[in-house]
Structure 1
Amino acid sequence: MTVTAPFTIRWGIISTGQIATDFTQDLLVDPSLRGVSDVKHVVAAVGSRSVESATRFITKLKGAPTTDLWSWGVQQGMLDETKALGSYQEVYNDSNVDIIYIGTPVTHHHKDAKAALLAGKHVLCEKAFTFDVAELDELIAIAKEKNLFLMEAVWTRFHPISYAIQDVLKSGVLGAPKRMQADFSIDFKVDNRPLSDRFLDAKLGGGGLLDMGPYPSVWAMLLLHQHPLNTKRVPPAFVNSYQRKYTKRGTNVDARSRWLLDFEELGCEAQLMTDMTCHGYKQGAVLLQCENADLVIDYQPQKPDTFRIIPNDGSDATVKASTHHVPIPAELGHGLHFEADEVARCIRDGKIESERMPLSESRIVQSWFDDVRKNGTTDLKDMKGTAGL
């Protein structure tokens, strides 16, 4: 019997912040623990604003005690050849790097992703994908011209619970959707944060919309846009929006954002909300009300582990109340490796985008953020991105 070696993808990590740390740690977790043997991840290079910063990042990972999940990769020598580079461009130019993971602030995503694509690298970029649609359109055009893979890192789409929930929708047991609401709110104690913090600095895309907005949005896309009855997959109509500003200490970013969408083919509206000054709903962070039963996804919506089916009064007796736990086991890490596995398989198979996370759907969500931002009165209202620069 012929044993096929796993496809190896070599990552260049851009930025050394928390999300980049979490992502890199997950690349080093034993893939067999999640049943993966067809792809393999290697951290080829880490880029920061100085060699010293990149070196500290790598050294800290190497120093993981054996109780840390990513110590498996360290013990396997997966960081032995990792280069510490003092600029992002050096990572883009490294011939040993296949793909760039971008974990910089959202207002830097476009220029960083553009530089990577122009250097001939595939790109996985953290959410929100870009500051505005014009930036995203330029990236998509470059990726297609150069036949390079490009994807927004919406990790929630690749979690086992997301597939399980969509299986319930495909079964038809809930009936047609009627209305939906999704909320991602966390009290980030922004009063105590420095003005340079990403939540408070408009130049970094401050406020809750761009940082938190992808999470209620991903559920609108998975539950409604991809709903089996939504056969035409026409983008929903943007109805209206509202933003409450955070203006303390001279700031002027959004503390809270709400927007209403009309999925016309389904006859269903969705209200989405973010808030960086108040905790979210512990039960029912996402609620989809249907003909026969409600689908309830509990907090946290970015990484939920429980959803419930609650029959409506007078609904068909075949619909039973049930609670479903689909957690990511602790031994698997943060859960960011699922999207990394998808990227590796797409590149292995010669694809330039993921069917699970298509660029067209990223563009729909990005357009919502543009509409909310431009309808508001924060300092981000009239900010321009870097498309064309």
Structure 2
Amino acid sequence: MKTDILVLGAGIVGVSAAIHLLDRGRSVILADRGEPGGGTSYGNAGLIERSSVIPYAFPRQLGAIAKYALNGSSDVRYDPAYLPRIATWLARYWWHSSRTNLEKATRALLPLIEASVSEHDKLITRAGASELIRERGWVSFYKNPRRFEAARAEAESLSAHGLAIRILDGSEFLALEPAFAAAGSRISGGVHWLDPKTVTDPQALTAAYATLFATAGGQIVRADASALREEKNGWSITTAEGEIIEAGEIVVALGPQSGLIFRKLGYPLPLAIKRGYHRHYAQREGQPLGHSVVDEEAGYVLAPMARGIRLTTGIEFAAPDAPPNTIQLRRDEAHARALLPLGEPVEATPWLGLRPCLPDMRPVIGPAPRHRGLWFNFGHAHHGLTLGPASGRLLAEQMAGNDTFADPKPFHPHRFL
């Protein structure tokens, strides 16, 4: 079987790139060893995060660093045995989080963030997936009055980016989300971000995009990316059924597993993993959660989804293949239960996922310098769902030789080589 382009990875990033390439008249095969959306794209907070114009940076304040060093926080946890393995990467992350470097990352990502909702909207319409989308925005809330006032000032400063926001005092937050009635005066206020959209089933959305791709003429196959071979005039891979696929170009969109390819081909890209967990809880009858909400002080998200209320944790630094450690999830659940009535867990075992991250807080989107026909599109950290369609468009525009809607240079892999 021959094709112009082979896309490795059927998460939201790979599926979106495959659609954009197909739209530009290329023959495209999408390969994954599992179902579309079954990996990292399954386990997220379901936010199409138009309001996240500033990347998640490493804390620079000594007080915050000292707090995390004690390893008792619910938003960030680390395995002490893993720190020596990731110390160099953390140092680079800290360096890139300086004010100057953070502004640089913000400017680079802004066109993709601004296009995130509109690019999703196009695919949602074509895929007939509007029933998976809620257009209510999301709400961050604060218990500490000083944290709330600081958040108010920061949110208002972002109005220059054209964001629609509504500042809520404590009573307005409770009126919007009466499920928090038991919290009473402990909620100082919140920020209602109106531009983002939320997804009730992220895996189903990715699967709907994959169906759109297949209906439009693309092909989806089961294959292990580690079996990729470089050929004289391109690339080849053998599917699970034993069929050989030959392609002139490939796109590596394997998220946290992208190192299977780029390391084998000699590219020392500093991709690291932030682990995260989620678990679904039943909604109490008569006390529904109407919006996705973020406890900014404890660092978790509560999102109403098809299976119940999904509680998504913050960051865990631990070996990607280490056994799950549910202490962070237990801490978050305790915080949440103190504020609203959560039902019983829906699944017996929490989900553990891997977020692929680069130290400068930007994904790698562009051509590999030393291999013809090799393209990268991974490292979207916390924003794979948000940026999948926009980054797919940026990649496809480069591969087709078109003018690009955003400057691709800040995302090229050569910045690390």
Fold match (TM-score > 0.5): no
Range into which the TM-score falls when normalised by the shorter chain: under 0.3
TM-score (norm 1): 0.26
